[in-house]
Structure 1
Amino acid sequence: MTMQTRDMLGIGAAVMAALVLPTAGFAQSAAAKAAVDAAKAAGIVGEQADGFLGFVVASPDPALKAAVAEINAGRAQLYREAAAKNGVSPEAAGASAFRQVVQAKLKPGEYFKPAGGGWVKK
């Protein structure tokens, strides 16, 4: 394993821990998390290669759009913090988190979108 790969895995693990155990830097409401979890289970929302949530199918629900925006804003802050701490770009931190989420957290039937690809059902 190269040093760069090991470093990215470490960044991904740190970001994953923060996603699982929210801190003040990654505050999300219980309502937003519940709405997004339900939408992920329904195949409406999925994980994107940049580490952010995206819509697998269009949703007219303004509350769901707001929940996705809230969580993505928290993730953006988390990626900026992880990037500053580890000397990488926020984009690299988000991509590393995506790989960890797909491998460790994504449930069967949920969707993810790899870089340059379309939505894939796990």
Structure 2
Amino acid sequence: MMRKTLTVLALGLTLSALGTGAVLAQSSAAKATVDAAKAAGVVGEQADGYLGIVAGGDDALRASVAEINIGRAAAYKEIAARTGVTPEAAGQATAKQLYSRLAPGYYWKPLDGGWMKK
């Protein structure tokens, strides 16, 4: 189990090093929309590895978040298939890497809590 955990963490580091935009399927428009919403405090990262709406947002933003989350889900399933862990574990390992790069003032949602600013 420890080896699988380390493998998932290493893959999370690889995703971070390459940039999640380079690895996870998403359009540049969706990424730009979500990046602006993150900076505005409308969208945040979650400890499960997915994006979430902090507050507000229109249908276009929700569609962009959904598009990116679909890409992330596919990546987590691929990681899980290669490493023998669950997609949930792969998402959580990647989320730890995303959190480490999260700028101060951006929103984060732990698995057992509500939204908080980093």
TM-score normalized by the length of structure 1: 0.86
Partner amino acid, structure 2, of 1:114:
P
Query: What is the number of residues matched between the two proteins?
Result: 116
Task: Please tell me the root mean square deviation across aligned C-alpha atoms, in Å.
Answer: 1.6
Partner amino acid, structure 2, of 1:115:
L
Partner amino acid, structure 1, of 2:116:
V
* Runs of at least 5 residues in structure 2 that lack an aligned partner in the other structure: none
- After superposition, the Cα gap between the structure-2 partners of 1:57 and 1:84, relative to the gap in structure 1 and judged at 3 Å, is same
* Runs of at least 5 residues in structure 1 that lack an aligned partner in the other structure: none
Q: Is the 8 A contact 2:107 2:116 kept in 1?
A: yes
Q: Is the 8 A contact 1:15 1:79 kept in 2?
A: no
Q: 1:117 aligns with which of 105, 108, 113?
A: 113
TM-score normalized by the length of structure 2: 0.89
Q: Which aligned segments of 4 or more residues in structure 1 are displaced greater than 3 angstroms? A: 2-5
Q: Is the 8 A contact 2:21 2:31 kept in 1?
A: no
Q: Is the 8 A contact 1:49 1:114 kept in 2?
A: yes
- Identical-residue share of aligned pairs (%): 54
* Equivalent residue number for residue 9 of structure 2: 9
* Equivalent residue number for residue 53 of structure 2: 55
